[in-house]
Amino acid sequence: MAEASNSRTIKVGTVEVPGRVALAPLAGYTEYPFRAAVATFGCPYAVTPLISAEGLVRRNRNTLRLLARGDDDAPVVAAQIFGARRGGMAEAAKIVADAGFPLVDVNLGCPAPKIRKQEAGAALAGNAVALRRIARAVVAASPVPVTAKMRLARDPSDKSTLAAAKLLSEEGVAALTVHGRAVDQGLRGPVDFYAVKEIAETVPLPVWANGGVETPQDAEALLKETAAAGVMVGRAAVSRPYLINDIETYLADGAVPAAPSRAELAEAIMFHFDKAAALDGEERAARHFRIHLLAYLKGARGAKALLPRAARVACRRDVADLLEEFAKPPEDGP
């Protein structure tokens, strides 16, 4: 069963995570600029997008870019690495720790075919021999605690995920995140609470439950049904960077804070862009920022007319002008 030092703190090896709600790794989204924006609303723990161990070892420029961090990042950030070669994974763990990350997270849950073809991600979790070798190598090489994120097996009667969780615990992994869906479900379909609970109640590690959280009430139900120590939130936080703080507050106090005003959200979005521009340059940041703008605006009242502009922003001025319009309350309310 997961061990929490108090209702809002979880210990992962030597690292104290000051909250129960985490930002899940999302390729293309959970890079430093976005994590900094989420941290402005209060995010205690976040995970980078999955990072190629081989890319780190080869010092690939685009891969190393994913190691960017800052003083305004989330208080605790784990760098998530993936790969199938134990030597490469071990070396990548050292690189991550040298970059200042307090935790190394091993990806065992990515369902993308291009990752599984490499015998990495979700494919690795089903190979007990390879999994033990990699877990042992990464834990031995890493000067910081090692965690892992995994998915469930396709068949509910298949206990391979539970066996993998036990194996990881035996090899010294300090915490787990379990996505409560099978590989072939992707990000859709029901979450298997029972399977996650079986893992959380079996391994002597903190377990974060992941999958299907859209609201604070969803997070509360996931924690209750799985007996997990914490909850990890993914895509719902992309459009609502304040959601993690809402969940933390709700779990602690039973009340959901008022949503930020459109002007406050616009300010956070601009902050996000400026961090991205400082990292990548204005033009490159603007191109990549389109996906973030579309996510931020999606579902906001009165914002539908802004979506075509969001898909074409090319510079800071474009973003600032769009957000100036967005910050105005729509005619049918905030």
**β-pair type (15-17, 21-23):** unpaired
Residue pair 255/249 in contact (Cβ under 8 Å)? The answer is yes
Rounded CA gap, 72 and 48, in Å?
Answer: 15
| 315 is annotated as an active-site residue | no
Q: CB under 8 Å to 14, separation ≥6 — which residues?
A: 144, 145
Q: 210-245 as b/e, with b when 16 or more CB fall inside 10 Å?
A: bbbbeebebbbbbbebbbbbbbbbbebbbebbbbbb
pTM beyond cutoff 0.85: yes
Confidence band of 331 (pLDDT split at 50, 70, 90):
low
Mean pLDDT of the chain: 91
Confidence band of 85 (pLDDT split at 50, 70, 90):
very high
Per annotation, catalytic residue among 89, 110, 138, 152? 110
Query: At what angle are helices 128-141 and 86-98 packed, to 10 degrees?
Result: 30
Rounded CA gap, 117 and 75, in Å?
Answer: 34
More confident residue, 110 or 210: 210
Query: At what angle are helices 262-280 and 316-326 packed, to 10 degrees?
Result: 170
Kindly report, residue by residue over 135-163, the tens digit of the pLDDT: 999 999 999 999 999 999 776 667 889 99
What are the φ and ψ backbone dihedral angles of 160, each rounded to 5 degrees?
A: -65, -30
